[in-house]
A and B are shown apart, each in its own frame.
Chain A
């Protein structure tokens, strides 16, 4: 008769352990006796705990392979402990980030370099409940960190096109890089885009069993019409929606119900799925409207007839997945170019465009979207609608999208190009003033490109300040290490003159913008690093806006900018 847990068979003990927390198992259960120690350390149990405790794993873990391998061939217990230790370190660092601005950037960088392994903990902190005193700061920094890690993944992928100026590989992933800048706590990342395109291709194949027997032209038109019938390309009411921010993101286009997208994204959806179906397809960076092109396989023309031609007109066709169910003839496109006033180099527009150029074209689209939305300033409701994405603050998302386009232009352009640095100054200003937590990305990816570019110049010129990536990194790190001076208010009189408290929300009397008092500095706020801002309307949505009777010190902050630093 069983009078002790010792009399219960191993099988049942193993099952009980599945209900016990990993901490309880390690702290007390494994110390009960030799038998329980053994059962508490079985690889299968720890494989389970690893899967339950952590859902995001960096690629360095090769998790999928580990999961397929025999449980006993992987040290799951140690892996669990390693991840747990990382979380502990992240928790310490985040506490530090919140408690002091000194060394904040250094701490933020250390967390970001942990990469995807940091995601689980940060996601949890993004949604931390409001019982903690510092929950707003926690949410704020956790989401800034999460964003920074996502941006790092995008830049890492974009940088692989350096030295590959003519690459036509992985257009889907390169475009999904933009999604990473506005991903926040959502799932629609690069992997999601790749998976979704994979499954669309599978779905199409299943619905068209005789697809392989069709000629290239018939294949292209069948796919085009299938995509358009499923509303996967194009958009509704382009006269209003064309410059809506969401149309710029492949991940958004694939996941949203009505799949709105710009011609570039529509063409990319077509070509990426066509490639998965074994066709040869490219995007064409046609002026004002990106098209898709499909090529017949060697030895055949578009209609499946034998041909000696390698590159004739019978070998390639153009489509407009955004706007039309029909083939667009090359002569139509040539006529359009003449209409635009183009007479030279027409054929270049009808050739496949490499991925780096498409990405830079996307960056220009984002800038055009930004300008259009800024011009809607007199219609704030419309403007807010135009920049709302599935997650995050509209104003910040627009800013993040523009920032993404600046990154894309820099890292997608080959450093061998003479004007590689033409956008460097505005980029560095944007980065240093608004997104300084990304300094680890700048150090890891941009600084090497910059150094390579400078070294390749025949007539090197003196580069300082905003023209020098390394200077800016140094500047940020200097500010980060700076201990704030303590200025005491020695007299009653001085104290009586101070009307504001740290944390107070105010509306500027002259400029009308909403601000938060985040600290006192002798020079006003001019010397402070200035992270993200929201616009006034959004700050108001956040609640608690008061209108003090006195204006604060006039500064060089422009209107409509609220600087959130030490929340």
Chain B
């Protein structure tokens, strides 16, 4: 029998999740799927593969869209061809986005972005997870606290005293980083 080329995946976190049909080559970006493919025969894989993660089908659809588009990219295994910052501290460099990836992430609303992070983490899709984290970091870079709160929809729960103390700390650091930038 030829190996299964289309996998059926369904999020069972909440009842009534949609069944997604994903090409095997695309699904293999997921470490979780890779593990399943190793552990089960093709005959088992004809059935629907259940996954369970707290994201909506809309978010999941975006994840599969990315996987399908990137199906020909080299897959990461545990020894990792894509290096995240926790792999080798010394040689780490920021990631660059391909044109397609940039368009993909730019078009996301914040809800979908967070869902992608959560799903990529759960499904262990290392390149997508790293890109997502880098994308959020890029949104924060160089912004003031107030700007970030607005962009990421965060409310402060500091009491005024704490707020003051952190502000003082900031004054100290700011001096330093300005010199760093100048050079």
Contact = CB atoms under 8 A, between A and B. Distances in A.
Interface in A27-55: 27-37, 48, 51-52, 55
Contact of A8 (B118, B134, B183): B118
A41 to B, nearest CB: 10
Given A16-B136, A18-B84, A37-B166, A4 B176 contact: no
B94 interface: yes
Interface string A4-36: 111111011001111111011011111111111
A33 B134 contact: no
Given A28-B143, A32-B154, A19 B118 contact: no
B180 A32 contact: no
Given A33-B158, A48-B89, A1 B56 contact: yes
A15 B84 contact: yes
A24 B140 CA distance: 8
Contacts of A7: 114
Interface string B25-39: 000000000000000
Nearest to B156: A33
A84 B177 CA distance: 9
A479 interface: no
A92 B180 CA distance: 11
A81 B138 CA distance: 23
Contacts of B134: 19
Q: How large, as a class, is the contact surface on chain A?
A: 35 or more
Which of B110, B149, B176 has the most C-beta atoms of chain A within 10 angstroms of its own C-beta?
B176
B176 to A, nearest CB: 5
B142 interface: yes
Nearest to A32: B154
B141 interface: yes
B46 to A, nearest CB: 32
A28 B144 CA distance: 6
Given A32-B149, A88-B176, A3 B143 contact: no
Given A11-B121, A36-B154, A88-B176, A28 B84 contact: no
B72 interface: no
Contact of A32 (B121, B129, B137, B156): B156
B96 interface: no
A91 interface: yes
Given A26-B170, A28-B140, A18 B90 contact: no
Which of B115, B157, B175 has the most C-beta atoms of chain A within 10 angstroms of its own C-beta?
B157
A2 B114 contact: yes
Interface string B146-160: 011100111111100
Contacts of B115: 1-2
Nearest to A50: B89
Q: Is the interface of A mostly helix, strand, loop or mixed?
A: helix
Contacts of A35: 157
B85 to A, nearest CB: 4
Given A5-B136, A18-B84, A31 B111 contact: no
A87 interface: yes
B166 A84 contact: no
Contact of B157 (A8, A33, A81): A33
A187 to B, nearest CB: 13
A85 interface: yes
Contact of B180 (A15, A18, A23, A30): A23
A78 B21 CA distance: 51
Contacts of B103: none
Interface string B72-96: 0000000000001110011010110
Contacts of A18: 84-86, 133
A26 B158 CA distance: 16
Nearest to B152: A5
Given A24-B140, A51-B90, A4 B154 contact: yes
A32 B145 contact: yes
Contacts of A9: 118, 121
B121 A6 contact: no
Given A23-B173, A28-B148, A33-B154, A3 B111 contact: yes
A143 to B, nearest CB: 16
A2 B166 CA distance: 27
B110 A34 contact: no
Contact of A48 (B85, B95, B137): B85
Contacts of A8: 114, 117-118
B98 interface: no
A535 B118 CA distance: 64
Contact of A31 (B92, B95, B141, B170): B170
Nearest to A9: B118
A69 B156 CA distance: 34
A39 to B, nearest CB: 12
Given A4-B152, A52-B90, A55-B90, A84 B176 contact: yes
A52 B88 CA distance: 9
Contacts of B153: 3-6
Nearest to B110: A3
Given A20-B141, A88-B180, A26 B173 contact: yes
Contact of A15 (B56, B133, B158, B177): B133
A29 B118 contact: no
Contacts of B177: 23, 26-27
A20 B110 contact: no
Interface string B122-143: 0000000100011011101111
Contact of A34 (B140, B142, B158, B180): B158
B43 interface: no
Contacts of A4: 110, 114, 152-154
Nearest to A4: B153
Which of B55, B136, B156, B174 has the most C-beta atoms of chain A within 10 angstroms of its own C-beta?
B136
Which of B94, B95, B145 has the most C-beta atoms of chain A within 10 angstroms of its own C-beta?
B145
Contacts of B110: 3-4
Nearest to B91: A52
Interface of A: 1-9, 11-12, 15-21, 23-24, 26-37, 48, 51-52, 55, 81, 84-85, 87-88, 91-92
Interface of B: 55-56, 84-86, 89-90, 92, 94-95, 110-111, 114-115, 117-118, 121, 129, 133-134, 136-138, 140-145, 147-149, 152-158, 162-163, 166-167, 169-170, 173-177, 179-180, 182-183
Can you list the 4 inter-chain pairs with the closest CB atoms, starting with the nearest? A19-B137, A23-B177, A2-B114, A18-B85
6 contacts: A2-B114, A5-B154, A8-B118, A18-B133, A19-B95, A24-B140
Given A18-B84, A52-B89, 17 more contacts: A1-B115, A3-B110, A4-B152, A5-B136, A8-B114, A12-B118, A19-B85, A23-B176, A31-B145, A32-B145, A32-B149, A37-B158, A48-B86, A48-B89, A51-B89, A84-B176, A91-B179
